[in-house]
Amino acid sequence: MKNPLLVPSKAPHGTIPFHEIKTEHFVPAISSGIEEAENALQRIIDCKESPTFDNTVLALELSSRTLDTASNTFYHLFGSESDKDFKDLSDKISPMLAEFENNTYLNEKLFKRIELVFHNKDLLKDEEDIRLLEVTYNDFVKNGAALSATDKEKLRDIDKELSTLSPQFSKNTLNATNDFELWLDEPDLDGLPDTVIDAAKMAAKEKGRENKWLVTGHFPSFSPFMQYSARRDLRKKVHVATSSKCNGGKYDNNMYCKKISDLKHKRAQLLGFSNYADYILQERMAEKQENIYNLLDNLYDSCIDHAKNDLKQIAELAEKLDGIDEIKSWDIAYYSEKLKKDLYDYDENSLKPYFKSENVMSGAFEVAKRLYGLNFKKLDNVQTWHDDVNVYEVLDEDHTHIGILYEDLFPRSTKRGGAWMNPLRSQGMVNPNDICRPHISLTCNLTKPTEEKPSLLTYREVETIFHEFGHCLHGLLSDRKYKRLSGTSVFWDFVELPSQIMENWVGEEDALELFAHHYETGEVLPKELLQKIKKSKNFRSGTNCLRQLTFGYLDMAWFGHHNDVDNVEEFERKAIEKTMLREQDTPGASISTMFAHIFAGGYSAGYYSYKWAEVLEADAFEKFQEEGIFNKETAKSFRNNILSQGNIKHPLELYKHFRGRKPKVEALLKREGLLQVNNS
């Protein structure tokens, strides 16, 4: 039998024939895909005609169809349905793909041709051709194609070093996290609720100790302990250990912080930028460091008094309840939890019966129907990777085919944690006569149904479904010519707008009426309950905002200019000084040495984008609130100016077309109750 990854799919809508694909098909399919792509690149280089958009840039865009199908399918299954053998395959496949990519970007003859087309950009008329040319050219330059041979060598060395330092940084944080253990006896459980005690008991049992309880260095274990433990001495122990991770000791990350920021700076300089942030910002909506600092400072001014007020309230409560005259870092989570209970006492579990997962999913579909006229038709003839997966054909208002949506909601041992959207097939050109529609998958790990009860979700889980569904709409409603520019292939600090904005509908009565029905009685979620949820969401919003700003400023300090850092703790203290409301009382406290987002993940000079995206979605949703949350015209404008546009223009342009102006921060501040200080 032929390798199903190497022949055009005969399945309905050209979907992937998952039942026919075996693990052993991937490596040969990816090898053939690479070979096919390399041949296509060779034909571009060998072309006798002078370089044009069609014979060079377009030919490159269309060169890797087989490879894309095989690698998309592989990485999809890697996350959604894979055992150890399957996962081990990535040790083979990832280096193959990395090498192919490297060889492409450093191919001088290929780059020369692209460069020539780029210099004759004015000859092109079509907006999308021009954008594809610019993006392709930038991809090559970013990866060092325009450098001299010696500098290319230097870049390769830097990348090689970074590729070992970053995983080492993560490994240290993980080891330090695993290393911490606090063993408890019965008297040490004072204050802890049953769920926390049970979890600690289970953790101890896993380590073979029956009559003990264990708190570990992992967040889900130590965070509730800090919230509930009445034992101040133990809270101090846990806080000191978890806040000084990797600052000295066996898993010291100090050297890695310095080296990684230094190498990234050198990399940026080699490519002609004065620092790493400026290099990154070439392809960010924020464009300039100045704009990032404006956002951070603006939010700072709005939240600082609220945060101080939060702290005051907590300190007062600590004094009132336990006579504590000086509040310490290890007291904050504990008294904050008590304050929260005082202010908004309601049981989160009382919401769950209103959120049966099937109802929530059809609620999301109904919202998309009211906004964009979309219909979701369940298909039973499409193969999937697991029986839990549902498949829908998405149809437009006039019944034209939009795409395919796979829905995979519940956890299993072969699936990684978290929630994500993933295009199995992106929208865009396959060959000049065929622009295909997308196949998108929505994956979550929600509360599972049991034998007695259907899957009943928490409020946060409902928001998660709507969030990922928003990413799916971005992928599905894409209407571009080229895949490289379609769907979610937008700038990093813009990609969360379509997803985060959808979470807003979950907080709206008119939307909840459509789907938040009690699974037994059919009663709609009571208004009072909704009000309580909304209020409690803003509990300590000033403090939460300030915490995000601490991370944002610290990230920019590390990557916004070159630092000759001698002492990491000292450097950090200066960088975040203005966000600290109290004297440091924790020996060895360090954020940097465990800040894996910026030292081991993709967030270097990008941490600000969390807040950036919130500003955008709150401001965009405000337009829906002004004009009606199901207003067809507003929705049409959001679809036409944002969801269908992919990366055709700079995101600020797209945004202005929708909003009629630049984004403003006020809608976010208003939503989070940060416009005036509330002294009550």
Q: What is the C-alpha R_g of the chain?
A: 26
> Cβ neighbours of residue 230 under 8 Å, at least 6 residues apart?
190, 191, 334
Q: How far is the CB of 491 from Zn ion (least distance, A)?
A: 14
Applying CB under 5 A, the span of 248-256, 356-364, 498-506, 545-553 interacting with Zn ion comes to 498-506
Q: Which residues of 574-594 are buried (b: 16+ CB within 10 A; e: fewer)?
A: ebbeebeeeeeebebbbbbbb
- CB of 21 or CB of 364, closer to Zn ion: 364
Q: How far is the CB of 124 from Zn ion (least distance, A)?
A: 34
Helix (H, G, I), strand (E, B) or coil at 440: strand
- Torsion sign over Cα 417, 473, 475, 377: positive
Helix (H, G, I), strand (E, B) or coil at 31: helix
Q: How far is the CB of 292 from Zn ion (least distance, A)?
A: 20
Closest CA to 505 of 469, 458, 476: 469
Block residue for tokens 């979907």 = 15
- CB of 247 or CB of 422, closer to Zn ion: 422
- CB of 437 or CB of 471, closer to Zn ion: 471
Q: How far is the CB of 467 from Zn ion (least distance, A)?
A: 6
Applying CB under 5 A, the span of 184-192, 193-201, 312-320, 499-507 interacting with Zn ion comes to 499-507
Q: How far is the CB of 466 from Zn ion (least distance, A)?
A: 11
Q: How far is the CB of 253 from Zn ion (least distance, A)?
A: 28
Tokens, residue 13: 């809508």
Applying CB under 5 A, the span of 65-73, 286-294, 359-367, 496-504 interacting with Zn ion comes to 496-504
- CB of 478 or CB of 579, closer to Zn ion: 478
> Cβ neighbours of residue 311 under 8 Å, at least 6 residues apart?
327, 332, 543, 581, 582
Closest CA to 196 of 219, 216, 231, 225: 225
Applying CB under 5 A, the span of 139-147, 345-353, 492-500, 580-588 interacting with Zn ion comes to 492-500
Tokens, residue 25: 């098909």
On whether the CB atoms of residues 364 and 352 are closer than 8 A, the answer is no
Applying CB under 5 A, the span of 67-75, 85-93, 292-300, 495-503 interacting with Zn ion comes to 495-503
In order, the DSSP letters of 332-390 are HHHHHHHHHHHH----GGGTGGG-BHHHHHHHHHHHHHHHH--EEEEESSS--SSTT-E
Does 468 participate in catalysis according to the annotation? yes
- CB of 499 or CB of 604, closer to Zn ion: 499
Helix (H, G, I), strand (E, B) or coil at 183: strand
Helix (H, G, I), strand (E, B) or coil at 128: helix
Applying CB under 5 A, the span of 62-70, 364-372, 494-502, 579-587 interacting with Zn ion comes to 494-502
Among positions 227-266, residues that touch Zn ion (CB under 5 A) are none
d(CA 344, CA 333): 16
Tokens, residue 361: 């999913």
Q: How far is the CB of 159 from Zn ion (least distance, A)?
A: 27
Block residue for tokens 């408890």 = 184
Q: How far is the CB of 468 from Zn ion (least distance, A)?
A: 7
- CB of 18 or CB of 466, closer to Zn ion: 466
Write down the catalytic residue from 81, 461, 463, 468. 468
Q: How far is the CB of 465 from Zn ion (least distance, A)?
A: 12
166: contact with Zn ion by CB under 5 A = no
488: contact with Zn ion by CB under 5 A = no
d(CA 641, CA 622): 16
Q: How far is the CB of 587 from Zn ion (least distance, A)?
A: 37
What are the backbone angles phi and psi of residue 563, rounded to the nearest 5°? Answer: -120, 140
**x/- binding map, residues 536-565, to Zn ion, per CB under 5 A?**
------------------------------
Among positions 274-333, residues that touch Zn ion (CB under 5 A) are none
Block residue for tokens 């037994």 = 520
- CB of 69 or CB of 499, closer to Zn ion: 499
> Cβ neighbours of residue 585 under 8 Å, at least 6 residues apart?
328, 329
422: contact with Zn ion by CB under 5 A = no
Residue type, 498: P
- CB of 166 or CB of 422, closer to Zn ion: 422
- CB of 137 or CB of 607, closer to Zn ion: 607
- C-alpha dist (Å) from residue 311 to 214, 243, 318, 327, 404: 30, 19, 11, 9, 49
Among positions 106-125, residues that touch Zn ion (CB under 5 A) are none
On whether the CB atoms of residues 397 and 656 are closer than 8 A, the answer is no
Q: How far is the CB of 183 from Zn ion (least distance, A)?
A: 38
- CB of 226 or CB of 497, closer to Zn ion: 497
Block residue for tokens 């253990």 = 181
Position of minimal CB gap to Zn ion = 499
Q: How far is the CB of 286 from Zn ion (least distance, A)?
A: 18
* Spacing of C-alpha 193 from chain mean position: 32
On whether the CB atoms of residues 263 and 164 are closer than 8 A, the answer is no
Closest CA to 611 of 309, 308, 307, 286: 286
Q: DSSP alpha helices (H): ranges in 20-89? A: 26-46, 59-61, 65-80, 84-88
Task: Candidates 56, 229, 455, 499: give the one binding Zn ion (CB under 5 A).
Answer: 499
On whether the CB atoms of residues 481 and 124 are closer than 8 A, the answer is no
On whether the CB atoms of residues 63 and 482 are closer than 8 A, the answer is no
> Cβ neighbours of residue 306 under 8 Å, at least 6 residues apart?
541, 542, 543, 545, 673, 674, 677, 678
- CB of 265 or CB of 467, closer to Zn ion: 467
Applying CB under 5 A, the span of 276-284, 306-314, 493-501, 662-670 interacting with Zn ion comes to 493-501
- CB of 367 or CB of 594, closer to Zn ion: 367
333 Ramachandran zone, left/alpha/beta (phi>0; psi -120 to 50): alpha
Give the residue numbers marked as catalytic. Answer: 468
Tell me which residues touch Zn ion (CB under 5 A): 499
